């Protein structure tokens, strides 16, 4: 079943389907070793890799396995990265979320804002019950994003990635529908 790729809006971002115009900034981001230092694949060295990535985004939506959205700043249309909902399983009502942002966009809350918009779509429109995420245990910033969104660390995948000879562990996070807080408001204190 195809999964229509939405266009989502947040206060500062527009999340939209990829176009061929995104290939150059996408390649620049994915060829930056510093940006991908915690990623599960080495940086890109061939510009055609960006075109294949964009084609894979379209295929992902067509085969119904997920949606990968380009992130752009609403004020000026600058490409900031991407956020994806993948491994969509309508029978289990589950999916996985992931994101990559260009280094210039780090530390400004864009990852949290983008992921929040995708989660809102996932829980409201796709009726998901669970969204999972994984992050390299060394990637403290990504773990912080997930925890701000309400994800709970559920375990560690030991030595699950080997990229260019570098072995790393990953943390697995989960967010259940009943735990989802769509706004950035903290959860109210519960008195026993």
Contact partners, residue 106, CB within 8 Å, separation at least 6: 141
Tens of pLDDT, residues 82-93: 999 999 999 999
Give the integer Cα–Cα distance in Å for 30 and 79: 13
CATH of the domain at 73: 3.40.630.30
The string of pLDDT tens digits covering residues 48-82 is 999 999 999 999 988 888 999 999 999 999 999 99
Report the half-sphere exposure of 140 (CA within 13 A, side-chain side). 1
Residue whose token pair is 């694949």 = 41
Q: Is 81 part of a structural domain of the chain?
A: yes
User: Is residue 170 one of the residues assigned to a domain?
Assistant: no
Overall domain count for the chain:
1
Structural domain includes residue 108: yes
Q: Which residue has the tokens 């990852």?
A: 111
Query: What's the farthest any 2 CA atoms get from each other in the chain?
Result: 58
User: Domain for residue 57, yes or no?
Assistant: yes
Q: Is 52 domain-assigned?
A: yes
The answer to whether residues 94 and 74 touch, using CB atoms and an 8 Å cutoff, is no
Q: Is residue 24 part of a domain?
A: yes
Q: Does 190 have pLDDT greater than 60?
A: no
The residue range of the domain holding 65 is 8-128
Enter the pTM of the model: 0.91
Q: Judge whether residue 189 has pLDDT over 80.
A: no
């Amino acid at each position: 079943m195809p999964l229509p790729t939405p266009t989502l809006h947040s206060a500062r971002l527009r999340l939209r389907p990829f176009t061929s115009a995104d290939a150059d900034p996408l390649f620049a981001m994915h060829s930056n070793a510093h940006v991908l230092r915690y990623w599960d694949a080495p940086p890109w060295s061939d510009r055609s890799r960006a075109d294949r990535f964009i084609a894979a985004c379209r295929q992902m939506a067509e085969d119904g396995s997920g949606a990968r959205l380009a992130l752009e700043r609403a004020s000026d249309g600058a490409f900031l990265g991407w956020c994806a909902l993948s491994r969509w399983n309508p029978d289990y009502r589950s999916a996985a979320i992931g994101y990559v942002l260009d280094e210039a966009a780090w530390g400004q809350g864009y990852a949290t804002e983008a992921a929040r918009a995708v989660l809102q779509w996932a829980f409201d429109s796709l009726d998901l019950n669970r969204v999972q995420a994984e992050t390299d245990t060394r990637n403290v910033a990504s773990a912080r994003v997930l925890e701000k969104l309400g994800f709970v660390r559920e375990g560690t995948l030991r030595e699950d990635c080997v990229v260019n000879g570098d072995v790393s562990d990953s943390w697995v996070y989960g967010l259940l529908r009943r735990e989802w807080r769509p706004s950035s408001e903290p959860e109210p204190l519960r008195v026993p």
